[in-house]
Amino acid sequence: MLKVGVVGGTGYTGVELLRLLVKHPHVVVQVVTSRAEAGTPVSQLYPNLRGHLDLNFSEPNIELLSACDLVLFATPNGTAMKMVPQLLDAGVRVIDLAADFRISDVDEWQKWYGMTHVCPALLEEAVYGLPEVNREAVKQARLVANPGCYPTAVMLGFLPLVEAGLIEVEQLIADAKSGVSGAGRGASVGMLMGECGESFKAYGIPGHRHLPEIKQGLARAAGKPVSLTFVPHLLPMIRGIETTLYSQLKGDVDLQALFESRYKDEPFVDVMPAGSHPETRSVRGVNSCRIAVFRPQDSNTVVVSSVIDNLVKGAAGQAVQNMNLMFDLDERAGLDAVALLP
Amino acid sequence: MLKVGVVGGTGYTGVELLRLLVKHPHVVVQVVTSRAEAGTPVSQLYPNLRGHLDLNFSEPNIELLSACDLVLFATPNGTAMKMVPQLLDAGVRVIDLAADFRISDVDEWQKWYGMTHVCPALLEEAVYGLPEVNREAVKQARLVANPGCYPTAVMLGFLPLVEAGLIEVEQLIADAKSGVSGAGRGASVGMLMGECGESFKAYGIPGHRHLPEIKQGLARAAGKPVSLTFVPHLLPMIRGIETTLYSQLKGDVDLQALFESRYKDEPFVDVMPAGSHPETRSVRGVNSCRIAVFRPQDSNTVVVSSVIDNLVKGAAGQAVQNMNLMFDLDERAGLDAVALLP
Amino acid sequence: MLKVGVVGGTGYTGVELLRLLVKHPHVVVQVVTSRAEAGTPVSQLYPNLRGHLDLNFSEPNIELLSACDLVLFATPNGTAMKMVPQLLDAGVRVIDLAADFRISDVDEWQKWYGMTHVCPALLEEAVYGLPEVNREAVKQARLVANPGCYPTAVMLGFLPLVEAGLIEVEQLIADAKSGVSGAGRGASVGMLMGECGESFKAYGIPGHRHLPEIKQGLARAAGKPVSLTFVPHLLPMIRGIETTLYSQLKGDVDLQALFESRYKDEPFVDVMPAGSHPETRSVRGVNSCRIAVFRPQDSNTVVVSSVIDNLVKGAAGQAVQNMNLMFDLDERAGLDAVALLP
Amino acid sequence: MLKVGVVGGTGYTGVELLRLLVKHPHVVVQVVTSRAEAGTPVSQLYPNLRGHLDLNFSEPNIELLSACDLVLFATPNGTAMKMVPQLLDAGVRVIDLAADFRISDVDEWQKWYGMTHVCPALLEEAVYGLPEVNREAVKQARLVANPGCYPTAVMLGFLPLVEAGLIEVEQLIADAKSGVSGAGRGASVGMLMGECGESFKAYGIPGHRHLPEIKQGLARAAGKPVSLTFVPHLLPMIRGIETTLYSQLKGDVDLQALFESRYKDEPFVDVMPAGSHPETRSVRGVNSCRIAVFRPQDSNTVVVSSVIDNLVKGAAGQAVQNMNLMFDLDERAGLDAVALLP
């Protein structure tokens, strides 16, 4: 059994990770840390874990964590980078679910995240954990940067088109919508149900931290820089991201066949039958990205709609998928649930 | 007092119209018709009208309606066109809140609505009731085609750019999201709370009936045909539309000043301060379209976010605004409420 | 025109009060105070007031407030009592929407609110502002304690039975459910949409601050102490309270007639036709309490279901109703809106 | 592997049953019938089953179903009774998730369900499938009547008190609240999101079909008739039932110990720590009933709050639990998921 530690298990990503890990057939959750909740039973903070996980939160502690085979960070941005070097030195492998190692260019990272990176040398080593792109590298990685939620949905939708060189990468548009759990579990007025219930809005139009991450990923796929307009929106619901992607076709192609072929061996990407419109609820609680592709009115504009559960394929599920790859387990282990519908 | 009749008052547009009309200072609601509910007190079907409207539904009847100064149709598509000629002959003015008179080209109309138009001769006479474009024509009109909800939000967002010739009209994108009340009050599995609650999806990507209506309006503003990709989405909430519009700038311009100047005399269009992101709840229950304009990352892509209440500025409120114009009343009469927030 | 000041206008009760006051035909809102937001335009915090109220928040200041005819406190508990004595001395009349003056017994108040009352002498003078019980006293009052939201719904439901001596007052049960806006606009984890959306629970079963307030009101009506089990619940929606009340009948009576007769002259209590089940949405945004009464299976258990909008008849609307009474205005002035439905 | 057939798999109970069965370690789903959808892939109607169940709906057919070890009916009331006798004759065991066999008294059944029972002789044989009461009988049963959702939550909450003879059973009160999925997937105006979203109401106060079922169960536990006031309410959310139960204590007792002792060996009943208030979300998607017991203000009124997922412990999960018992499988098989939270 794989010995796993979770740092920062008090947010939504943390509890989702624990939900998946406690039922994973090859994993033992050895330690869950939280400075604020040290001593509290994990199942007291997260009543869904009652009867499934008999652990108290511990103080974050390198020694304790060093006894694990793998440590997963479900911490705010800027936390993992302070502990990762020591853990790697101790021979522990690491998956960071926050953003500390997602962007290779340290200046770009520091600009968007507003802090100094404390171990920039690791940025090059870190593998960007989108298995659909980096599967082999993930298997070998000591340090995996688990992708952001929006980037996962946007990149999986654009990749077949970008990799095949079929669209103008100077003019990509991603209109993205997320449920409120994407904002985490910190107390804030804006995320009160009284504020975001029964309402909808765009936010961060001038610039959102996921923009450079998406551009980096698409540029790698394109082999050249890309230009992207990315507009996130806040949905009055808890889980789920949908992104509607717009780009200009350069030639003619069977889009449906292109997408099906690109993802035919991917266990967690599901290209929907032609004409379908995927719903976020169809992936609620599961590690799947569902995608549909359209060319409305036979114009040159390709429209892609992709959906994920932001906490699963957009965070904790993808981390488990990466863990499975890193430790040579069945990639689907612990990730075979059926979505909760209705 | 203006004598007003409402045909088809059993849907959401109908009840919203009645909510506004019963408090309108210059209107008397004389008759509300519904074939299915004839004889039932209106306030039994719509408990919010209890104590405010003491009328029973009547059978639709030309004679009865001919005693009105104005008849408003809140009926399914294809109903108004069967009664409008007789009402006009009787000297009654008409506002149709459905789509029967929105598209001037009868072939286009018949293609999208799947039926034969029974009074195509009136299509030319009908005035498209977007006051921000057609105020003077509305004042004189016998027959007003009240705009669709999506078209209102999309057109008000694009108009300043299109009229000024500042964007490539061959490549417009409108990503639109609507609350469930836009689908009306008919029983259908897809609109059950168990189906559309806590979920989000795009729909109608290959083609939606509001597409030709929007293209017609923007083409008139541009003075030439436009190309538009329009993707509607279904929000898990009741009221509100947000549209995020994308287009390519042709030159440099102070976008904020452009929008403020275009709408400075409009009582029901509110250009938000630079940097704001309008929320649908800020217009809940009121006849207002709030708009913000952005040029993210200083690229050539202009992004506009516009919000309306689909039942008010997107339907019943706009009809009242048109009524006020037609009968030379204060354009704001009956439309001065404050949005319900939270 | 009545000159009105609002202290603490940054919460949900405050914004609702302003929504009603800015459209009130006989009122001028002269000053809105908030220590935290002093200098900010009120309409920046509350975008629904944009275009309706052109005031900035001021520092709370006795001198400024003393120029008003009436000051309304929409502050946290314990704030009003510090300023009220000075305002009364200055000849200003006061309505406190918080709990400072609701309970006559100072020890009881101090026990439930966990602080020392700084002007206990005023507790006797303060009039409990439930117009359906205290209309005449409210008219003369210098200081009105505006009732809590749960107490309003529970008391209006029980009063006809208690006043008529028809039920066992030793065994009253009130099962109450409230939307999240009842918890206010302060940032807290428990009220995040991610926490309270799509979920339901009871809370405060061992004891809730509204319990002594309700018992006091019912005891006055009964002329003797009452025993009450009060269980509040949190609904996954924004506005609305429903209370289901259970009590044991002592004799036979026409319950429907009793309720209709008790409230026949009340402008804001609506006894529904026999067999109706009132919905919270039917009073959304309006100052009304709708009530239905049942005797299921002809047993001795009377069941009453009452609904209000917690922010209107449960707070701001009732305050405006009290203001109208205090200043000899039409009791309905500013309170004649139709509920927003759907 | 157990060969299982599902009759009527197109409603919410049906899809939930399939969600659980396709992951059950000892079950093969052999046939899923639906007259209306015969020929359609099951995963087309229920996209969450895509990739998990490769079956088309078949016409309901006794021969086909007779090849199964167990047939589960997830049909409207009145359907199972027409097929059950033939299936039993063919040696197939049956669980009916509808109400056909829940009430032993045929007259009572016919009164509440408004139809003639076609196989009343089976009413006596049928075992009421609440394992916490009838575990041994379920094991031997040919025909199990799976309990209703409200009855499960109400009975599990009252049982410890009733069985111990500690409360006045002449005066029980159950205030119950259910998410909309309890009303099924049939198209109806009342269950549209536009109608039941953001609103709350009681319904069926004069009498609800679950009333006689609950009374029957509690009377058996009490050994004498009971009197119950049962008021259901509709919650603006999808899954979950909470019931708040009120009764009068006859003596003194350690309620917490009583409840813990009653359920200490029950795998799917979780008595919460003293002072907890269970949330419906904490059991979302799982086969658990969580219960808390209170004696507020030390009065004689006991208050119990119980929560279940109406589609799991209130329907499909309980059916799987009964199936496990009937076929001597681990009672927990296929039912060990962690609730989806948030």
Spell out which residues of chain A touch residue C178, defining contact as CB-CB under 8 Å: none
- The answer to whether A185 contacts C185, with C-beta atoms less than 8 Å apart, is no
Which chain A residue is nearest to residue B305, measuring alpha carbons? Answer: A202
How many Å apart are CA A297 and CA A34, to the nearest integer? 53
Task: Tell me the residue type at B321.
Answer: Q
Please name the chains neighbouring C, where neighbouring means 3+ C-beta pairs under 8 angstroms: A, B, D
Q: Which of A173, A180, A179, A127 is nearest to A154 (CA)?
A: A173
Q: Is the dihedral of CA B295, B300, B302, B303 positive or negative?
A: negative
Handedness of CA C125, C131, C137, C139 (dihedral sign): positive
One-letter amino acid of B107: D
- Would you call C185 and A196 a contact, using CB atoms and an 8 Å cutoff? no
B-chain residues within 8 Å CB-CB of C340?
Answer: 19, 48, 284-285, 340
Residue in chain A lying closest to D181 (CA): A342
Put simply, the answer to whether D236 touches B193 (Cβ < 8 Å) is yes
Which of A168, A189, A191, A201 to mutate to test binding with chain B, by most B CBs within 10 Å of its CB? A201
Nearest by CB to residue A197, choosing from C12, C188, C193, is: C193
User: Do C185 and A192 lie within an 8 Å CB cutoff?
Assistant: yes
Write down the pLDDT at residue C251.
Answer: 86
Q: What is the pLDDT of residues D305-332, one digit of tens each?
A: 999 999 999 999 999 999 999 999 999 9
Alpha-carbon gap: D238 to the closest alpha carbon of chain B (Å): 6
Identify all chain D residues contacting B180, using CB atoms and an 8 Å cutoff. 192-194, 197
pLDDT more than 90, % of chain D: 98
Determine whether the interchain pair D192/B180 forms a contact, defined as Cβ–Cβ distance below 8 Å: yes
Distance of CA B50 to the CA centre of its chain: 26
Nearest to C203 by CA among C211, C194, C215: C211
CA-CA distance, C264 to C256, in Å (whole number)?
Answer: 12
Query: In angstroms, what separates the C-alpha of B214 from chain C's closest C-alpha?
Result: 26
User: How wide is the angle at C-alpha D282 spanned by C-alphas A183 and C208, nearest 5°?
Assistant: 90
- Minimal Cα–Cα distance from B259 to chain A, Å? 17
3-class secondary-structure state, position B341: coil
Residues D14, D310: Cα–Cα separation, whole Å: 13
Band of pLDDT at residue D161, cut at 50, 70 and 90: very high
Q: Rounded CA gap, A173 and B231, in Å?
A: 13
Predicted confidence band of residue D98 (pLDDT cuts 50, 70, 90)? very high
Of C284, C151, C138, C136, the C-alpha closest to C216 is: C151
Instruction: Show the tokens assigned to B113.
Output: 């609505």
Catalytic residues of D: 149
Contact across the interface for C194 and A238, Cβ inside 8 Å: yes
Contact yes or no for B196 and D196 at CB 8 A: no
Whether the CB-CB separation of A338 and D46 falls below 8 Å is answered with no
Strand ordering across the sheet containing C2-7: C57-58, C27-33, C2-7, C70-73, C93-96, C143-145, C127-128
Checking if the pLDDT of D9 tops 80, the result is no
The residues of C annotated as belonging to the active site are 149
Residue A240 has pLDDT above 80, yes or no: yes
pLDDT grade for A251, boundaries at 50, 70 and 90: confident
Sheet with D269-271, side-by-side order of all strands = D201-202, D228-234, D172-178, D241-248, D301-308, D289-294, D269-271
The tokens describing D282, both together, are 């904490």
- The residue whose two tokens read 């009868």 is B106
Q: How confident is the model at residue D197 (pLDDT cuts 50, 70, 90)?
A: very high
Cα separation of A266 and A87, whole Å?
A: 31
ipTM above 0.85, yes or no: yes
For chain A, the distance separating the N- and C-terminal CA atoms, rounded to the nearest angstrom, is 34
Pick B189's closest partner by Cβ from D187, D194, D198.
D187
Q: Which residue of C has its CA nearest to A12?
A: C194
Dihedral, CA atoms, C76, C81, C83, C86, nearest 10 degrees?
160
Considering CB atoms only, which of A181, A189, A198 is closest to C194?
A181
Note whether A296 contacts B237, CB cutoff 8 Å: no
Whether the CB-CB separation of C49 and C15 falls below 8 Å is answered with: yes
Give per-residue pLDDT as tens, C158-167: 999 999 999 9
- Tell me the Ramachandran region of residue B109: left when phi exceeds 0, alpha when psi lies from -120 to 50, beta otherwise: alpha
pTM score, two decimals? Answer: 0.98
Residue B311 and residue B239 in contact, taking contact as beta carbons nearer than 8 Å: yes
Both tokens of C332, joined, read 């309905």
| Cα angle value B198/B202/B206 (rounded, 5°) | 160
% of chain D surpassing 70 pLDDT: 100
Size of interface B-C (CB pairs under 8 A): 74
The pLDDT value recorded for residue A10 is: 87
B251-277 pLDDT, tens per residue? 889 999 999 999 999 999 999 999 999
Nearest residue on chain D to A184, alpha-carbon basis: D342
Nearest CA in chain D to B47: D195
pLDDT band at A109 (very low <50, low <70, confident <90, very high): very high
CA distance D46 to A111: 45
Q: For chain A, what is the largest distance between any 2 Cα atoms, rounded to a whole number of angstroms? A: 61
Inter-chain Cβ pairs, chain B and chain D, closer than 8 A: 60
- Tell me what pLDDT residue D35 has: 92
Sign of CA pseudo-dihedral D247, D251, D255, D258: negative
Contact indicator for D134, D128 with CB cutoff of 8 Å:
yes
The predicted model gives A333-339 an average pLDDT of 97
Q: How far is A195 from chain C (nearest CA, A)?
A: 8
Which residue from B12, B337, B338 is facing C342, i.e. has the nearest CB?
B12
What percentage of chain B has pLDDT greater than the value 90? 98
What chain C holds in terms of domains, given with CATH numbers, is 2-125 (3.40.50.720), 149-310 (3.30.360.10)
**Can you give the pLDDT at residue C9?**
77
Quick count: other Cβ atoms within 10 Å of Cβ B104?
15
Of A186, A187, A196, the CB nearest to C193: A196
Residues of C with CB under 8 A from a CB of B: 12, 15, 19, 22-23, 46-52, 181, 185, 198, 238-239, 270, 278-279, 281-282, 284-286, 336-342
pLDDT confidence bin for C290, thresholds 50/70/90: very high
**Cβ contact (<8 Å) for A277 and B205?**
yes
Residue A114 neighbours by CB distance under 10 Å: 10
Contacts of C338 in chain B (CB under 8 A): 19, 22-23, 48-49, 52
What residues form DSSP beta bridges with D72? D6, D95
Residues of B in contact with D193 (CB under 8 A): 180, 191-193, 196-197, 236, 238
pLDDT of residue D233 exceeding 80, the answer is yes
Chains touching A (at least 3 CB pairs under 8 A) are B, C, D
pLDDT of residue C76: 96
**For residue A54, pLDDT beyond 80:** yes
Q: Phi first, then psi: what are they for D329, rounded to 5°?
A: -95, 165
Gap from A98 CA to chain D (nearest CA, Å): 19
The reported pLDDT for the residue numbered D10 is: 87
Query: What's the number of CA atoms in the CB half-sphere (13 Å) around residue A211?
Result: 22
Q: Is the pLDDT of residue A9 over 80?
A: no
pLDDT digits over D258-307, tens only? 999 999 999 999 999 999 999 999 999 999 999 999 999 999 999 999 99
In D, what residues contact B, Cβ < 8 A?
A: 12, 180-181, 183, 185-189, 191-198, 236-238
CB A335, CB A278: distance < 8 Å:
no
d(CA D216, CA D220): 6
- Whose CA is closest to C311, among C172, C219, C182? C182
Which residue reads 């474009």 in tokens? B133
Nearest to D342 among A12, A52, A338 (CB): A12
Task: Provide the token pair at A244.
Answer: 């509607």
Q: pLDDT tens digit string along C111-143? A: 999 999 999 999 999 999 999 999 999 999 999
C-alpha separations of A312 from A11, A18, A70, B308, D132 in Å: 14, 11, 19, 33, 35
Query: Which residue in chain B is spatially nearest to D12 when comparing CA positions?
Result: B194
